[in-house]
Amino acid sequence: MFFAKFRQRSSLASPVCAAVLACVVPCHAQTDPKLLFDPASPNAAKQIEIVKADYKRPVNPGPYTDFKITKTGIEVTTPGYVQGAADHPGIHIYPAEGTSWDLSKYGHVEATVTNTGTSVFGINLHVIDDKDGSWTENNSEYVNVKPGETRTLKVIFGYSRGFRPIGTANPATILQLFFYLYHSALPHSFRLENIVAAGVPGEKPDPALVVIPPPRTPPAATPAPAPKP
């Protein structure tokens, strides 16, 4: 008798329960995105450092990257590469407070990139969790952006260089974000907006986006020396 009444009541309430569950489950499955760079902050400029030298090399004489903070983000201009200048023109973005971000509640870092120049470029985002890891392959992705085009540049923790599972990540201690171009002889300009941490811990990339490198050809065997007569 009780179960019959329960089934009757539950059938009447099922649309309400379904609506509640539809709201509650997604709301708790993912943390709201965390803004990592707020252009409206009075201390925003202090978060940015331009690249004046490549990793463990002396400061070069320039020309250097330049930037301007706008209402929506950061306008960046990079010079054409010349011998002796930094191979990776760009900017570092550091936490507004403390020495690192704790992003352990998130699965990735992303930014919106708009090419405001006249030629295509490839831009990299390296999410650095190691004081000596500026030039490792961990936690790094890039996209090519055509003039006038806007794209999302996304790095999933623990994946790199085509969303491949390379190395490890420690999202609890992210020291900086490094946006850079590589060895372009042309000057470029771009805008960075919506720099956030988002997603869920343990996030995995869409299999369709994973770049599988071709197998390496093993080196030819060295012939054994001829026996001495």
* 190-215: pLDDT as tens digits: 999 999 999 999 999 888 778 765 55
Q: Are strands 176-180 and 90-93 parallel, antiparallel or unpaired?
A: antiparallel
Q: What is the pLDDT of residues 4-29, one digit of tens each?
A: 443 444 344 444 444 433 333 334 46
Buried b (16+ CB within 10 A) or exposed e, 27-56: eeeeeeeeebbebeeeebeebbeebbebee
- Per-residue pLDDT for 101 more than 70? yes
Q: In this model, does residue 149 exceed pLDDT 50?
A: yes
- For 111-136, write each residue's pLDDT tens digit: 999 999 999 999 999 999 875 554 45
Supply the Cα-derived Rg of the chain in whole angstroms.
24
Question: Residue 104's closest CA among 176, 35, 199, 26?
Answer: 199
Chain centre distance of CA 18: 36
Counting every residue written for the chain, the total comes to 229
Residue spans per domain, the chain: 40-205
Q: What is the pTM for the complete model shown?
A: 0.76
Q: What CATH architecture is 40-205?
A: Sandwich (2.60)
Which residue's entry shows tokens 């690192």? Answer: 100
Q: Alpha-carbon distance 128 to 8, whole Å?
A: 57
